[in-house]
Structure 1
Amino acid sequence: MEGAYKDKYSFIGEWYDNQASLIRRFNVFYYPTDDTLEMFDLKNRKTFVRRVKVNGITLDNFYIGCTLYILGRLIKIVDFACEDTRKKLHKDMEITFAMLKPLPTKIAGKILTHFQEHGLRVTKMKKARLTADDVNILYRTQLTDPTFPFLLDFLTGQLIYGLELVGKDAVSVCLKLLGERDPSKAAPGTIRALYGTDMVRNCVHASGTLEAAMEDLDYFFPPPPLNTARLRLTATLSNCTLCIVKPHAVREGKLGAALECIDEGGFEVTALNMIVVENINAAEFYEVYKGIVPEYKGMVEELSSGPCVAMEIVAKDKSLNTAVEFRKLVGPSDPVSVNSLQIPVSLIY
């Protein structure tokens, strides 16, 4: 029993210390027997965080490139710290890149749910408008393909979703779920067979190898300052409102269902980004509720407990006030109220 208690997975984590303007590196240890964490400062050679349980963090949250919110700090996992951990988790924590081509929000939601149900979690997501240069880079292996000129014309200037997917053998699993590039030849039940129409409008593009996936992810989700100049967000800031899919709903795989509900309710998602909100920023965001709503502390802790998805929502009927009408769709903040009032449609989970 003692041996099992000490069993652990080891990772290298980085934290940007704003006050010192430097990156600090740590060993981040995860103990699966009780879901606890420990951090060791590599420079100062001392324990930085003693073994503690952090709500919302399990082994599923660990993969190379992920960002974890640990006791007020955003820690980026950059590598395995030992070969034993690498051998055990390398395949289980594989990442890949997928791009949802221009399609209705409802179909995008169904595709996200399809990925989730087959073991692929969405860990990064952003809506962007592609330029011709973006298309050339993302389709660099298909530049000589006869369909490429049509792809270039179809995608340039259009809104798409970029995804980072994590799961066991993510690259091969994703490609299998998509099916053949030609929807007419794709196996029944695959994404392209279900929602595609031809080799250009076949719903999803995905990386063919792990190496290509890393390159695509680096391009689509670049670090600062490139993230402000490349594949920028697509907010219209006109007759719109903000919708946040909270961390618990993202963890539970409900993002796809939320997108479907938004579309069916008469709204469009005009901008989207998956982000991690620090505790201090969550407190500022909810400041208007401080001292008024008893759940204020819990609201702050929930919003900063993991990745959330921020969306700009616009009513399809331009004559409507988006903020007012969308509140009707979302319903009361208390799910119990939704049930007791027998509201037929609500985004409350």
Structure 2
Amino acid sequence: MEDRYAFLADWYDPCADLLRRYKLFYYPNDRSVEMFDVRKHKIFLRKTKYENLLLRDLFVGNRVSVFSRQLNLIDYGDPYTATKLGSKKQRTLALIKPDAVPKLGDILEIMYEADMIVTKAKMTKLTCVEAKDFYAEHESKPFFKDLVELLSSGPVVAIELMGDEAISVWQQLLGPADSAKAQKEAPLSIRGQFGTDAAHASDSVTAAARELEFFFPSKAGEGPPNTAYCTDCTCCIIKPHAVSDGLAGKILNAISAAGFEISALKMFNVDQANAEEFYEVYKGVVIEYYGMKTELCSGPCIVLEIHGSDTPKTFREFCGPADSDIARHLRPNTLRALFGKDKVQNAVHCTDLPEDGVLEVEYFFKILDGCGQ
């Protein structure tokens, strides 16, 4: 029998203002999909090849795009799928500490190579009180003060990782807690390579749930705030196709290597209404408007605030021409030339007009982010 996985998926129909439920079937052999309307008890989409959906995208809680419909995967559709795909799935916190934030791009690449999926990410700055709350269980330990001082000494990046046995896999990638020991016993681990404490790893399912709630609370408007200045800045969006292809780490490394300051970072799942609102200035102006809008809400993207004087102009030049093919001919070292595919899937969005830099950053980090400052 042909291998097939099933999920229950919800789709919000904005025209009818209704939440519609489907059973989504995925056939990994030929990467085709099929959808069954649960309420109407009939086929909604016959089996059709759809190469934009990958098996690793299929887990409960994720949002996937199928022919421009954003589907929220709410449950497994049958016992076989739950056993085959869900039995080993875990979520864990990877907290990149201030001394390793400059190595964030390298760390993301290591995560991607280990088949870990970044489902949430946020740069924040913890106060001493917040750092003490996070490490409350270690309050009686002799190293508690040093932990708190390090964690509150600069920006951190909190990441929710999803994967098979994610807790133990992330611990192994990180290596022994003592970086000197890691360099000797596990030189290829993150601590072994970078020679610092680098990051925090949850040590159990219970701890992971508590620590993820600390940084990514279920109630909107709570949790540590983002680090956006919203002044002297420009906006950069690492587009969904680049995130899905595991290029985020390489793009972050390229941006840092070029001397740009990444002052804020957050992963967003942009819905269709917000994508239309954000790209409204391009409507009727560029023929790629519909494709740009569809791409932005096709999966998670990573939004950056790039801070510094004259940044909108210099960063736009660094991104290169909007058409990646043209960029490869004219400016082969730009971001879009190196990581883009075409004029829509061109790796990154950057602010076009200098006067719009603050507005675009504010749109994400103040309006869409409930924890904005």
Match in the other structure for 2:329: 340
Cα distance in 2, alignment partners of residues 107 and 229 from structure 1: 28
Identical amino acids, percent of aligned pairs:
38
Structure 2 alignment gaps of length 5 or more: 340-373
Query: In the alignment, is the contact (CA less than 8 A) between 1:120 and 1:170 conserved in 2?
Result: yes
The one-letter amino acid paired with 1:34 is D
TM-score (normalised: structure 1)? 0.84
Aligned position for 2:29 = 33
Is the 1:106–1:259 contact (alpha carbons within 8 Å) kept by the matching residues of 2? Answer: no
Q: Tell me which residue corresponds to 1:306.
A: 299
CA shift, 1:83, in A, is 2.6
1:251 aligned residue: 244
In structure 2, give the amino acid aligned to 1:283: E
Measure the CA separation in 1 of the matches of 2:124 and 2:53: 29
Report the more deviating stretch, 128-137 or 271-280. Answer: 128-137
User: Which of 280, 288, 312 lines up with 1:323 in the alignment?
Assistant: 312
CA pair 129-47 structure 1, distance change in 2 beyond 3 A: farther
Work out the CA distance in 1 between the residues paired with 2:131 and 2:38: 41
**How many residues are aligned here?**
335
Amino acid at match of 2:106: K
Deviation per CA, 1:13-47, whole angstroms, max 9, x where unpaired?
34567789886655433232333334455566555
Taking the aligned partners of 1:339 and 1:333, their CA distance within structure 2 comes to 11
Q: Distance in 2 between matches of 1:52 and 1:131?
A: 51
**Residue type of the alignment partner of 2:7:** F
**Matching residue's letter, 2:325:** V
Q: Give the corresponding residue for 1:181.
A: 177
Post-superposition Cα deviations, 1:264-306, rounded to whole Å, max 9, x if no partner, equal 1111111111112223332332233333323222222222211
What is the match of residue 289 of structure 1?
Answer: 282
Q: How does 1:137-286 map to 2 (within 5 A)?
A: 137-156=133-152, 158-186=154-182, 187-197=186-196, 202-223=197-218, 226-286=219-279
Contact 2:25 2:35 in 1 (8 A): yes
Q: Which has the higher helix share?
A: 2
**Aligned pair in 2 of structure 1 residues 19, 286: CA closer, same or farther (>3 Å)?**
closer
5+ residue gaps, structure 1: none
Could you tell me how far apart the structure 2 residues matched to 1:240 and 1:336 are? 28
> In structure 2, do the counterparts of structure 1 residues 43 and 258 end up closer, same or farther at CA, with 3 Å as the change threshold?
same
Give the aligned partner of residue 117 of structure 2: 121
Partner SS, residue 131 of structure 2: helix
C-alpha deviations, 1:91-139, integer Å up to 9, x for none? 5643322011113654111111111122222222111222345434543
1:93 and 1:166 in contact (8 A); partners too:
yes
**Structure 1's 17 and 288: CA in aligned 2 closer, same or farther, altered over 3 A?**
closer
